[in-house]
Amino acid sequence: MNIAVVILNWNGKALLEEYLPIVLQYSENAEIYVADNASSDGSVILLKEKFPEVHIIQNDINGGFAKGYNDALKYVKADIYCLLNSDVEVTPNWLDPIVPHFKNHKEVAIIQPKILDLRKRDHFEYAGAAGGFIDMFGYPFCRGRIFQAIEKDHGQYDDIKEVFWATGACMFIRKEVFEDLQGFDEDYFAHQEEVDLCWRAQNQGLKVHYLGHSHVYHLGGSTLSNMNPKKTYLNFRNSLFSITKNLPRRRAFPIILARLILDAVAAFRFVYQFKFNHCLAVLRAHLSYYRQFRKMYKKREKRSFLTKYYATKSIVWSHYVDQVRNYGKLVKD
């Protein structure tokens, strides 16, 4: 069972120069690929001149995270794909636990390592932390990160844990599973497409695991920062996509109606914070979702749905009303 590390790049020449040498140094037993999304900054020239050992896949357009990987992975021959952001610093032996865990747990389709903050190395990083979950209304959060509250890493999540979703910043997935699921949903473009992929895998009876004894450091925000209105737009819209596609009908419609109210509250909160562009982004997200509702509904798979998909009823209430900042106080593992 072999691993291919596939880094998706779009105008990330500086990131490749800084982090790709570390990937090559600590990934001796893996093939390294860079899938370039039609960059215009000389990324491909850099790869050819400085990193001849790296396999280059050149996509015709910048189709975002989802289409970029879907197009590129058709040319990658490996049993396990590692989807790795270009702004990730890997560590010695980071790959060692991965293949044995896949071999020993046939039901596991997807694995995520511990994601730490490259700038604040003793803290978890926003995108993934120690494995992802969602609440009843589809809002995502992580062990180690609830909204903007980031936990310090003091070994509390150095374990193996079944989680709901693995971050696309560093995700390992079996090739046959990725192909059977027909890859990422390209209508997402970017953000939360990994939540949808993991959800669809679990609807097939497969599992997603977090391995805390493998860790990497993530810079984060290299494409879109957490404070970018476009990211707000994509996150709100795409979470509605996932609910529509992956919940049983009797659950999906009440949750969607509830989201009308909850997202409106979020929009008004942005106004209160003078973040008017984010308020507008929430409105645009809903308008885009309603326009594409029928299309998303048709994507519902003719398979069984998870009977339990959420870790807590409302992460919004727990965080903003009950003032919960720590995963350990929210959910008892």
Per-residue pLDDT tens, the chain, 333 aa: give them: 999 999 999 999 999 999 999 999 999 989 999 999 999 999 999 999 999 999 999 999 999 999 999 999 999 999 999 999 999 999 999 999 999 999 999 999 999 999 999 999 999 999 999 999 999 999 999 999 999 999 999 999 999 999 999 999 999 999 999 999 999 999 999 899 999 999 999 999 999 999 999 999 999 865 555 678 999 999 999 999 999 999 988 889 999 999 999 999 999 999 999 999 999 999 999 999 999 999 999 998 766 788 789 999 999 999 989 999 999 899 877
Domain count, the chain: 2
- Verify that 95 and 70 share a domain, yes or no: no
Q: Are residues 333 and 221 in the same domain?
A: yes
Domain assignment of residue 136, yes or no: yes
134, 121, 205, 213: which is closest to 166 by C-alpha? Answer: 134
Residue 102 forms part of a structural domain: yes
Does 213 reside within a domain?
A: yes
* Residue 181: inside a domain: no
Same domain flag for 260 and 315:
yes
Domain boundary among 86, 114, 138: 86
Residue 30, CA distances (Å) to 96, 288, 297, 323, 331 in order: 11, 40, 39, 44, 36
Q: What is the DSSP string of 2-39?
A: -EEEEEEESS-HHHHHHHHHHHHHH-TTSEEEEEEES-
What is the extent of the structural domain holding 16? 1-86
Tokens (6 digits) for 98? 């991965």
Per the domain annotation, does 184 fall within a domain? no
Same domain, 79 and 103: no
Instruction: Tell whether 111 and 68 lie within a shared domain.
Output: no
User: Are residue 3 and residue 109 in the same domain, yes or no?
Assistant: no
Question: DSSP 3-state helix, strand, coil percentages of the chain (rounded to 5)?
Answer: 40, 20, 40
Q: Compute φ and ψ for 69, nearest 5 degrees.
A: -70, -40
H helices present in 51-172, as ranges: 64-72, 98-104
E strands present in 38-163: 55-59, 80-85, 88-89, 108-117, 132-134, 140-142, 145-146, 149-150, 160-163
Q: Is residue 176 part of a domain?
A: no
**Residue 52: which CATH number?**
3.90.550.10
Which pLDDT score, from 0 to 100, does residue 222 have?
54
Integer CA distances (angstroms), 122 to 58, 153, 253, in order: 36, 5, 41
Residues 266 and 132 in one domain: yes
pLDDT at 308: 83
Last residue of a domain, one of 37, 71, 86: 86
Residue 183: what pLDDT? 97
On whether both 299 and 235 belong to a single domain, the answer is yes
Q: What's the pLDDT at 303?
A: 66
Q: What is the CA radius of gyration of the chain?
A: 19
Specify the pLDDT at position 305: 83
